[in-house]
């Protein structure tokens, strides 16, 4: 008995949507093994990690709160990834968005105007878009690889935030902690459910998924971008501008990441700190892929990713494991997805007699 890969005549649409589910299933199984390997009771670990965080209303509200920045960033990234523009630096655009939004909040701290929050959203979007405009310009003018440029700018953005909260924006009454003043109430997103931290940012995220759905699935322009990503030659032949695709891809991703940054400083954090992001920019890349670059998929996968975040916190509290265990889960999820995607284009055949001595890679 031997397994042989055989190319499918046509990519399997069913596998395209089954593959994320398979990946999630394998990640859960992998989780059981991981807990066992760490000397924890697998089922107990499983319960603490995946069930405890969401067993009550407060837990569910925290889940939606964590999913908010992930949704916002991932839907923006999906626009770019569909066009094969690899914006890997959402983390940096998020930070700059948070800084711009904080700038508005701190500048108008005496004001109680209702226009402050909309102003912060716009400032966040502009900040994120500006940060993403750098790789867009360098890509379209000098062909500089956008993966490396967006990534390098993550580090630079972190230094900018660090400089601000250690220097000009440091709270004078902050006991020397690297953080800005707390924002005034007028610069904080309204709470949706009393007694929880869930705020209006969640509604923004849902709305942007809806807008994303129309743009990606229903608009001619979204279609053009997809063509540009999948068949560059065809796109050029049809007269779709590649440069415009790169600009739209990066600016959208940047603006959405910036809004996500705003939703965090004006939401659960309430001020600018030098650890304003919890790796959301990178986690959202996984969210976008697992969600198949599709708004509904992103809704589901961002909730799953949020659960991994909360599970990590629970594991730290009740299992005495570092909370970075969620990053191990994130990585596993992406690996399993990439592996399962093989079966979109190929299927496995069982061959009776394998050629002797052939290893798997030769048996293709």
Partner 1 sequence: MESSLITSIVAATIVSGTPLVLVAMGELVTEKSGVLNLGAEGMMSVGAIAAFAAASAGASPPLAVLAGMLAGCALSLVFGLLTLTMLANQVASGLALAIFGVGLSAFVGKPYESAPLPMVPPIRIPLLADIPFIGPALFNHQSLVYFSWLLVAAVIWFLYRSRWGLVLRAVGESPSAAHAVGYRVIALRYAAVAFGGAMAGVGGAYMSVYYTPLWSEGMVAGRGWIALALVVFATWRPLRVVVGAYLFGGVMISQLFVQGSGLKLEVPAQLLSSLPYLATIVVLVIISRNATTIRLNSPVSLGQPYRPDA
- 138 contributes a contact to partner 1 by CB under 8 A: yes
Q: Which residues pair with 347 in a beta bridge?
A: 6
Task: Give the burial class of 193: count Cβ atoms within 10 A of its Cβ; 0-12 exposed, 13-18 middle, 19 or more buried.
Answer: middle
Question: What are the distances in angstroms from CA 93 to CA 15, 198, 277, 328?
Answer: 33, 23, 11, 24
Q: Yes or no: say if 50 and 36 are a contact pair by the CB < 8 Å rule.
A: no
- Name which of 54 and 283 has its Cβ closer to partner 1: 283
Among the candidate windows 58-66, 109-117, 180-188, 279-287, which touches partner 1 by CB under 8 A? 279-287
The binder of partner 1 chosen from 248, 286, 293, 319 (CB under 8 A): 286
Please give the Cα distance from 149 to 136 (Å, whole number): 9
Residue 316 and residue 193: Cα distance in Å, rounded? 27
Q: What is the smallest separation between the CB atom of 234 and partner 1, expressed in angstroms?
A: 18
d(CA 132, CA 249): 9
Minimum CB separation from partner 1 for residue 251, in Å?
A: 18
Q: Is 167 in the site for partner 1 (CB under 8 A)?
A: yes
- Does 242 bind partner 1 (CB under 8 A)? Our answer is no
Taking the C-alpha atoms of residue 92 and residue 97, their distance in angstroms, rounded to an integer, is 9
Choices 53-61, 121-129, 141-149, 183-191; region in contact with partner 1 by CB under 8 A: 141-149
Distance of alpha carbon 94 from alpha carbon 262, whole angstroms: 8
Q: Which stretch in 18-26, 59-67, 117-125, 320-328 sits in contact with partner 1 by CB under 8 A?
A: 320-328
For residue 289, the minimal CB distance to partner 1 (Å) is 7
CA distance 32 to 128: 39
Minimum CB–partner distance for residue 248 and partner 1 (Å): 20
**CA dihedral over 322, 325, 328, 330, signed as positive or negative:** negative
Beta bridge partners of residue 39, listed in sequence order: none
Binding flag, residue 346, partner 1 (CB under 8 A):
yes
Applying CB under 8 A, among 46, 86, 131, 183 the residue interacting with partner 1 is: 86
Question: Where on the chain is the footprint of partner 1 (CB under 8 A)?
Answer: 86, 88, 134, 138, 142-145, 147-149, 151-153, 155-156, 159-160, 162-163, 166-167, 282, 285-286, 289, 322, 324-328, 330-332, 334-335, 338-339, 341-342, 345-346, 360-362, 364
């Amino acid at each position: 008995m031997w397994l042989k890969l055989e190319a499918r005549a046509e990519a399997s649409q069913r596998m395209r949507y089954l593959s994320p589910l398979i990946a999630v299933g394998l990640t859960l199984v992998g989780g059981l093994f991981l807990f066992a390997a760490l000397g924890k009771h697998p089922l107990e670990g499983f319960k603490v990690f995946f069930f405890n965080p969401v067993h009550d209303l407060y837990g569910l509200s925290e889940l939606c709160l964590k999913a908010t920045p992930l949704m916002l960033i991932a839907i923006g990234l999906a626009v770019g990834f569909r066009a094969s523009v690899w914006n890997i630096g959402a983390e940096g655009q998020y930070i700059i968005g948070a800084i711009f939004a904080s700038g508005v909040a701190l500048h108008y701290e005496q004001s109680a105007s209702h226009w402050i929050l909309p102003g912060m959203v716009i400032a966040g979007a502009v900040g994120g878009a500006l940060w993403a405009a750098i790789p867009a310009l360098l890509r379209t003018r000098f062909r500089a690889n956008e993966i490396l440029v967006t990534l390098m700018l993550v580090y630079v953005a972190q230094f900018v935030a660090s400089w601000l909260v250690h220097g000009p924006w440091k709270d004078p009454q902050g006991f020397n902690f690297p953080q800005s003043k707390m924002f005034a109430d007028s610069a904080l997103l309204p709470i949706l459910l009393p007694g929880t931290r869930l705020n209006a940012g969640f509604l923004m995220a849902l709305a942007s998924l809806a807008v994303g759905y129309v743009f990606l699935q229903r608009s001619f322009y979204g279609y053009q971008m997809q063509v540009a990503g999948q068949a560059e030659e065809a796109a050029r032949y049809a007269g779709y501008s590649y440069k415009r695709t790169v600009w739209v891809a990066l600016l959208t991703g940047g603006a959405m990441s910036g809004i996500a940054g705003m939703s965090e400083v004006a939401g659960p954090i309430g001020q600018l700190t030098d650890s304003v992001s919890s790796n959301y920019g990178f986690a959202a890349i996984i969210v976008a892929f697992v969600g198949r670059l599709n708004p509904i998929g992103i809704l589901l996968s961002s909730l799953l990713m949020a659960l991994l975040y909360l599970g990590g916190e629970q594991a730290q509290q009740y299992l005495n494991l570092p909370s970075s265990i969620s990053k191990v889960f994130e990585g596993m999820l992406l690996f399993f997805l990439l592996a399962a995607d093989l079966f979109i284009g190929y299927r496995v055949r069982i061959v009776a007699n394998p050629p002797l001595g052939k290893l798997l890679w030769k048996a293709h």
